[in-house]
Structure 1
Amino acid sequence: MKTEAIKETMNPVYRKRLLMHRVGITLSFLAMTVGLFFLLWILGTLLIKGVGAINLDIFTQTTPAPGSEGGGLMNAIVGSLLMVGAAVFISTPIGILAGIYLAEYGEVSWFAKVTRFVTDIMLSAPSIVIGLFIYAIYVANVKHFSGWAGSFAISLIAIPVVVRTTDNMLNLVPTSLREAAFALGAPRWRVATFVRLRAVKAGVITGVLLAVARISGETAPLLFTALNNQFYSANMNAPMANLPVVIYQFAMSPYDNWRSLAWGGALLITFSVLALNILSRSLFNQKINN
């Protein structure tokens, strides 16, 4: 009888909470539905307009001249792969080492606090600002655009992603694991690299893959650094074609062939980034399950 009386007393409060819960769930479901609708709309449009441009020529021929038929995106694909590869080569060791310092040595350091603050700023900084920065300190001094300049620009975008991911992953390692390693006489640098880093290597790799996905479609920084090249070139010290800039230029052109190639390039980038995200999620979930 006492329990029923309590329920009767709490009933209005319970009803109000239940109502708010249902309203929140309904709004969340509606927001998810709207997001999925536009996502599927974008992917569907890319598939419809981009699949027709995907053929062997797009991987084996260079970008065509204005008004001509045929052609492909081989030079742009190779240029993007070279610049993204160089950016990963630059950003990965810097980002991982900085993340190790923040997690292991920067607990009470003022320098670590400043580093975290600058990293957060770089994560939210507009990419065009980073492109202008590299243009001012590199391109303007060497007097020409280049693939290296583009790599430097997008590596500055990738570094904070790797830093924050590495820092967060290392902080998930149990304190007992570190204490056990210290008890065995291991120095701090060995504990950081061979114990903590090895324990979260899947999460760190996930961060690197997310950084690659983040920089693969960047256009603004490359407009001020790598520019473009209509012909095939593997020379990183010269202007270099890349998919984001080619897509931007071809999509704005009055030529149907160029616009078709732009849709094909957009489809390639979108599904490459989607594949990288799925791979990173799979690696991270596999590590958690193990």
Structure 2
Amino acid sequence: MQHSNSLYRKRKLLNRTVMVLCSAAALFGIFWLLAILATLLWQGVTAIEWSTFTERTRMSGGGLGNAILGSIMLTLGGTVIGTIIGVGAGTWLAEYGRESVLGSVIRFINDVLLSAPSVIIGLFIYALVVLPMGHFSGWAGILALAVIVIPVVIRATEDMLKLVPDSLREAASAMGAHRWWVVVRVCYSGARAGIITGILLACARISGETAPLIFTSLNSNQWNFFDLGSEMPNLPMTIYQNMTINSFIPRQVELAWGGALILTLTILVLNIIARFVSRDANKR
């Protein structure tokens, strides 16, 4: 009896110790997150004004309008292309190639791509697209971002489709439905929220990517209205250049902080939306 009480006290002490350590680690991470957000707000809010969104980037002064527009085009383009390929590949893995050798190979390659540094992907697109074309372009940037999106969407699509009960597929097939109809009308309906969440998270990830764009779309201080064949202005590269090359100009540094704040808030909103979509799916 005494031994049992002693063992209970040791386990209780260990449990409390682990809880304290976990809570301290969580508070440590939250502190730095709040510190980063507070710094961005303090440094960047002074640069946020109407001209920031309407004027183009200049050597001194100006705004971030062209960079914001370019980032929207690059991000949307990369997300759309990556989503189309990713959903298709994830559907095939979940519905047709679950146990096949090709499916296992694709999953292995997808896992490698998930952890691949974005700068390597940028170099790959540089060698594959930029060098043959002879110049940087918006298309090259979109392709680089799409390669980052694809493995995320593949994983989300496959995992969500696997969660759809096989009984639903069998019931639809028993009623005479074709396989493609079952996938589109039954499986996608059950996995829709999870797939959308994966797409939103992939979009949030590529929104702030800088390394791939250095080798693909580069940057420009001019407006670019859907001319994807030329250099494309973008927010991450503008922030990088303003904090390095133009760091001796106070207004450019201020705009860099403002751009960082805009980028952070955008990514934060996308992550919050993804959370809400995922939570609604779990309630169902």
Pick the TM interval, shorter chain.
Answer: over 0.9
Aligned-residue sequence identity (percent) comes to 50
- Distance in 2 (CA, whole Å) between partners of 1:55 and 1:242 is 19
The Cα shift of 1:233 comes to: 1.2
Mapped pair 1:229 → 2:220: yes
Equivalent residues in 2 for 1:254-269, closer than 5 Å: 254-269=248-263
TM-score norm. by structure 1 comes to 0.94
Equivalent residues in 2 for 1:33-72, closer than 5 Å: 33-65=27-59, 68=60, 70-72=61-63
The Cα shift of 1:9 comes to: 4.5
1:79-104 Cα distance to aligned partner (Å, 9 max, x none) = 11111111112111111111111111
Equivalent residues in 2 for 1:157-176, closer than 5 Å: 157-176=148-167
1:188-233 Cα distance to aligned partner (Å, 9 max, x none) = 2222221111111111111111110010000000000001111111
1:14-52 Cα distance to aligned partner (Å, 9 max, x none) = 222212211111111011010000000000000000000
Highest Rg: 1 or 2?
Answer: 1
- Distance in 1 (CA, whole Å) between partners of 2:258 and 2:109 is 37
Equivalent residues in 2 for 1:143-182, closer than 5 Å: 143-182=134-173
How many residues get paired?
Answer: 281
Which amino acid letter does the alignment assign opposite residue 92 of structure 1?
A: T
Q: 1:243 aligns with which of 203, 221, 235?
A: 235
- Distance in 1 (CA, whole Å) between partners of 2:18 and 2:95 is 40
Residue of structure 2 in register with 1:26 after alignment: 20
Q: 2:275 aligns with which of 273, 281, 288?
A: 281
For structure 1, the 5+ residue unaligned runs are none
For structure 2, the 5+ residue unaligned runs are none
The Cα shift of 1:11 comes to: 1.9
Residue of structure 2 in register with 1:96 after alignment: 87
The Cα shift of 1:106 comes to: 1.7
- Distance in 1 (CA, whole Å) between partners of 2:8 and 2:111 is 41
Mapped pair 1:12 → 2:13: no
- Distance in 2 (CA, whole Å) between partners of 1:188 and 1:288 is 26
The Cα RMSD (Å) is 1.1
- Structure 1 stretches of 4+ with a deviation exceeding 3 A read none
Residue of structure 1 in register with 2:206 after alignment: 215
- Distance in 2 (CA, whole Å) between partners of 1:223 and 1:75 is 17
- Distance in 2 (CA, whole Å) between partners of 1:184 and 1:128 is 50
- Distance in 2 (CA, whole Å) between partners of 1:121 and 1:12 is 48
